[in-house]
Amino acid sequence: MDAYLTGLGKARERGLDVSAIHSVASFFVSRVDTETGRRLDAIGTPEALRARGKAALANARLGYQAYEEVFGSADGWRQPSGRWAALHQAGANTQRPLWASTGVKDPSRPDTLYVTGLVAPGTVNTMPEATLDAVADHGEITGDTVSGTYELSGFHAAVHWDNVCSVPSGWLTAGVSTPSSVLAYLKGVPPEMARLPRCRPSNCKHRTSWAPGVVCVSSHGPWGSVRRREVRQMPAR
């Protein structure tokens, strides 16, 4: 996405028509589960086997979260970045996420998994013919299945990163046992801080508080009203 925006910026500087430029950002899906599944099978523990088949959707959904952070969400809840807003005003087209490799390789999983599980506004899904036929025959499209899944997706991605890439162990003894605490641990936030109500960087009303070594633990009520505001210095790890 950064390369796309940089290219658009250069095109605009040269007087080119940015409205004539189109692009997609490809995310490979099934091969993520293929690789993590192979390694989880090698680990062989009940916990590892239960974690099979979750990494691909989690990875793609987090990719869509990154897309929304740049281009904004379709419902307007997440605003686009200032950099994109300026280019969009000049006529630039959104770079759409493209789900590639969406044929399910594991016969124990639904053959439409990487289609029905990745329904979101503005996306492209390049299905192989067998998957296209399966979706037409018995696929159940129930609406957006990506937005709102980011914290849980982050948890699954973190677990698979641990299994596949050997992130340091000892999480449970460090108090890391929930999705928010897994994400916090990876970001260097102590577990006791992760359990506090916190703003998300995307909707925090106190964006100036988001700086290295500082965590905003404000809590928002209905319609963005602030129930509590507290900014703490994170203790050294």
Sequence-ordered strand ranges (E) for 29-92: none
Q: Confidence class of residue 43 from pLDDT cuts 50, 70 and 90?
A: confident
- Three-class secondary structure of residue 231 per DSSP: strand
Question: Between vectors from CA 19 to CA 15 and to CA 23, what angle results, nearest 5°?
Answer: 115
Check pLDDT > 80 for residue 17: yes
Q: Confidence class of residue 225 from pLDDT cuts 50, 70 and 90?
A: very low
Q: Give the per-residue pLDDT at 41.
A: 85
Pick the more confident residue, 170 or 143. 143
Give CA–CA dist 79/60, Å, rounded.
Answer: 20
Q: Give the per-residue pLDDT at 32.
A: 87
Q: Mean pLDDT for the chain? A: 75
- Three-class secondary structure of residue 98 per DSSP: strand
Q: With a threshold of 0.95, does the pTM exceed it?
A: no
DSSP lists the bridge partners of residue 96 as: 24
**How remote is the C-alpha of 149 from its chain's centroid?**
8
Span 137-147, pLDDT tens digits: 999 999 999 98
Q: Give the per-residue pLDDT at 152.
A: 67
Instruction: Describe the crossing of helices 30-43 and 150-165 by its angle, rounded to 10 degrees.
Output: 50
Q: Give the per-residue pLDDT at 217.
A: 41
Span 80-139, pLDDT tens digits: 999 999 999 999 999 999 999 999 999 999 999 999 999 999 999 999 999 999 999 999
Give CA–CA dist 201/175, Å, rounded.
Answer: 23
Mean pLDDT of 53-78: 90
Pick the more confident residue, 221 or 158. 158
What is the percentage of the chain residues whose pLDDT exceeds 90? 45
| Token pair 């016969």 in the structure block, residue | 107
Mean pLDDT of 12-32: 94
Check pLDDT > 90 for residue 76: no
Of 61, 35, 36, 62, the C-alpha closest to 50 is 36
Check pLDDT > 90 for residue 169: no
Give CA–CA dist 175/149, Å, rounded.
Answer: 23
Check pLDDT > 50 for residue 22: yes
Question: Using CA of residue 95, residue 142, residue 75, residue 70, what is the dihedral sign?
Answer: negative
Pick the more confident residue, 76 or 233. 76
> Parallel, antiparallel, or unpaired for β 96-100 and 24-28?
parallel
Span 172-191, pLDDT tens digits: 444 444 444 444 544 454 44
Give CA–CA dist 216/189, Å, rounded.
Answer: 11
Tell me phi and psi for residue 227, to 5 degrees.
Answer: -85, -35
